């Protein structure tokens, strides 16, 4: 392998790419690479994958469609606030909840199980607040 030619081609392809990140489409390779997988990667990585003949640059239409699809999936997986709410578990089992502290910071506590077993906020029968008061 001629390293000078390899890096010349790498720099040439990277210079042609205008965006900081590009969408590439993978090729099938002998080492197990699957064809047709789209990825949004940094320009340098995209150029390297193209020089190594492991991926091709997506057309602008394919890139726009892929990015819109990814954005739709991301927005669909998050609520209007962008936070996932943890609700109580079935069969009365405990659940992690978040309660605001007086100074506005969040505090995560683990609710007690119905039979009284274990809690993140409980140490030897005393709650974390009681432990703080003893210190």
Res. 123 pLDDT band, cuts 50 70 90: very low
Range of the structural domain that residue 72 is part of: 3-76
Q: Concatenated DSSP letters for 49-71?
A: HHHTTSEEEPPHHHHHHHHHHHH
Q: Is residue 115 part of a domain?
A: yes
Instruction: Assess whether 68 and 23 both reside in one domain.
Output: yes
Instruction: Assess whether 21 and 62 both reside in one domain.
Output: yes
Mean pLDDT of the chain: 76
Q: Is residue 82 part of a domain?
A: no
Instruction: Assess whether 62 and 111 both reside in one domain.
Output: no
* pLDDT at residue 54, rounded to an integer: 95
Q: What is the total count of domains within the chain?
A: 2
Q: Is residue 39 part of a domain?
A: yes
Q: Residue 86 in contact with residue 96, Cβ under 8 Å?
A: yes
| pTM exceeding 0.85 | no
Q: How many percent of the chain have pLDDT more than 90?
A: 47
- Span 115-123, mean pLDDT? 52
Question: With DSSP H G I counted as helix, E B as strand and the rest as coil, what are the percentages for the chain, rounded to 5?
Answer: 40, 20, 40
- Span 24-49, mean pLDDT? 94
**pLDDT at residue 31 above 80?**
yes
Calpha distance 54→120 (Å, rounded): 49
Q: Is residue 83 part of a domain?
A: no
């Amino acid at each position: 392998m001629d390293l000078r030619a390899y890096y010349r081609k790498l720099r040439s392809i990277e210079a042609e790419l205008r965006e900081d990140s590009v969408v590439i489409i993978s090729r099938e390779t002998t080492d197990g690479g699957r064809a047709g997988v789209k990825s949004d990667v940094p320009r340098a990585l995209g150029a390297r994958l193209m020089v190594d003949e492991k991926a091709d640059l997506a057309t602008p239409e394919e890139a726009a469609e892929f990015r819109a699809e990814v954005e739709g999936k991301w927005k669909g997986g998050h609520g209007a606030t962008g936070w996932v709410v943890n609700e109580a578990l079935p069969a009365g089992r405990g659940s992690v909840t978040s309660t605001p502290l007086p100074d506005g910071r969040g505090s995560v506590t683990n609710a007690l199980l119905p039979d009284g077993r274990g809690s993140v906020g409980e140490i030897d029968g005393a709650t974390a607040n009681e432990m703080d008061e003893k210190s």
